[in-house]
Structure 1
Amino acid sequence: MIGLFQHLIKISRRRSPWIYRINAGSCNGCDIEVAPCFSPRYDGEQIGALLQGSPKHADILLISGPVTLRTRDMVKEIYEQVPAPKAVIALGSCPASGNVFSGSPTIIGNLESLIPVDLYVPGCPPRPQAILEAIQKAAHLLENGETHSQQEEDQHD
């Protein structure tokens, strides 16, 4: 019976990944590369990816920019608003290292020191193809129960 229940949960997670974007203080280079992902050329909607206006309707958080002292609380709040299961994609070099902003007293460091990150998309800025590939990988992680949020949930059960 439990196996059937787990199977039904897995089937219910096979859906279009809905994405909420956060710019945590970037130079907007990553944002410029996200836009073509949903244009006719790359057609992110073909894989079912849709941008959402509210984190409460998202499955995936797409975060660009170095997290600053000013945006730290906002990022945490938005992360908490995304319902479980959720995946987090760190977009570009800034969330990983601060990139050109590192060394600034207002940069808090790696995004993973604030919230769990499932995937990093390297580059400054990353190409649209890499962004779409990460979205597909995040959807796969969600479907298979392999995101950080799902693993934490399993540990608490």
Structure 2
Amino acid sequence: MYNAIKKLFQYGTVTVDYPKKHIKSSYITGVPKFNYDKCMHCMKCKNSCPTGAIVLSDNDGQNGKVPAVNIDECIFCRFCEEACQNDAVYFSNIFELAQKNRNDLRAAPLIIQDEDVSVLDYELLGKQLKENVKKFYGKSLNIREIDAGSCNGCDYEINALSSPYNDIERLGIQFVASPRHADMLMVTGCVTRNMEEALIKTYNATPSPKLVVAVGACACSGGIFKNSYAGRNGVDSILPVDVYIPGCPPRPQALIYGILKAIGRS
């Protein structure tokens, strides 16, 4: 007991105060950005991208097509930055990237056609979901994490949420062992063939209303395994996704931001 008290006075509080206080650090690798004044349109950045995340877009009102990033496909590998000889590509410190709509993460929007559901229906469903989220998950949340074929990078970051440094339980959020006790499913990986059935069964075992969060580039779009014979191109090809958290892997604070965004607390 004496040693515990001694350590407390010696090191003080180690828990980070995020999201009340934003984290500023030069060590944070965030979303890639382009300086179009330096860009020579050589497309070396596009050709070096292993996931095809860099596309041509009418970004920032420039004349003609310019390179831009589909953040849901980006694995933050820095190959584009290394390939650019004009320093037109650089990585920012912006890590709060989670979005409820996947198209908000893309320079080239996905085209989704559904003739059976009108825009008005989508708006009504979205309003009802937002009200239910605030009602049921405003103060507490139980999460079941599912590895659907990841490299474990995202899983390590999720595990770090329970450490003394991040201490996610201070926000009324905790992880549970059974989907039957869960309010939210956090899914990592591109959803391999072997995990597809298990993911669906876990989703069906989770009581409604429930939320699904896709964690990492693989879960958002398939990532480096996109269009592979062995898996799907992300979680939304199997289940409805409420929030996408890009990154490879996303840092713990990015995960906290995405979780709070899902339950209407950010």
Please classify the TM superposition score into its range, dividing by the shorter chain length: 0.7 to 0.9
Contact 2:227–2:233, Cα closer than 8 Å, also in 1: no
Q: Distance in 2 between matches of 1:134 and 1:120?
A: 7
Alpha-carbon RMSD: 1.9
Structure 2's unaligned 5+ residue stretches are: 1-130
Q: Structure 2 residue aligned with 1:45, among 169, 173, 178?
A: 169
Taking the TM superposition and a 5 Å limit, the aligned residue runs for 1:89-104 are: 89-104=213-228
Secondary structure at 1:107 match in 2: coil
Higher relative contact order (CA 8 A, sep 6+): 1
Aligned to 1:65: 189
Distance 1:123 1:13, change over 3 A: closer
Q: Structure 1 residue aligned with 2:151, among 1, 18, 27?
A: 27
Structure 1's unaligned 5+ residue stretches are: 1-6, 142-157
Taking the TM superposition and a 5 Å limit, the aligned residue runs for 1:69-88 are: 69-88=193-212
Summarize deviations over 1:63-116 as a string: whole Å, max 9, x none. Answer: 000101111111111011111111110000001221122232111223112110
Secondary structure at 1:129 match in 2: helix
TM-score normalized with structure 2 length: 0.48
* Percent pairwise identity: 42
Q: Distance in 2 between matches of 1:47 and 1:114?
A: 30
Contact 2:189–2:234, Cα closer than 8 Å, also in 1: no
Aligned to 1:122: 246
The Cα of 1:11 is off from its aligned counterpart by: 4.6
Secondary structure at 1:108 match in 2: coil
Q: Distance in 2 between matches of 1:12 and 1:135?
A: 14
Distance 1:97 1:40, change over 3 A: same
Q: Distance in 2 between matches of 1:110 and 1:96?
A: 5
Secondary structure at 1:109 match in 2: coil
- Which protein is bigger by CA-based radius of gyration? 2
Distance 1:73 1:26, change over 3 A: same
The Cα of 1:14 is off from its aligned counterpart by: 3.4
* Count of matched residue positions in the alignment of Structure 1 and Structure 2: 134
Q: Distance in 2 between matches of 1:89 and 1:16?
A: 16
The Cα of 1:50 is off from its aligned counterpart by: 0.4
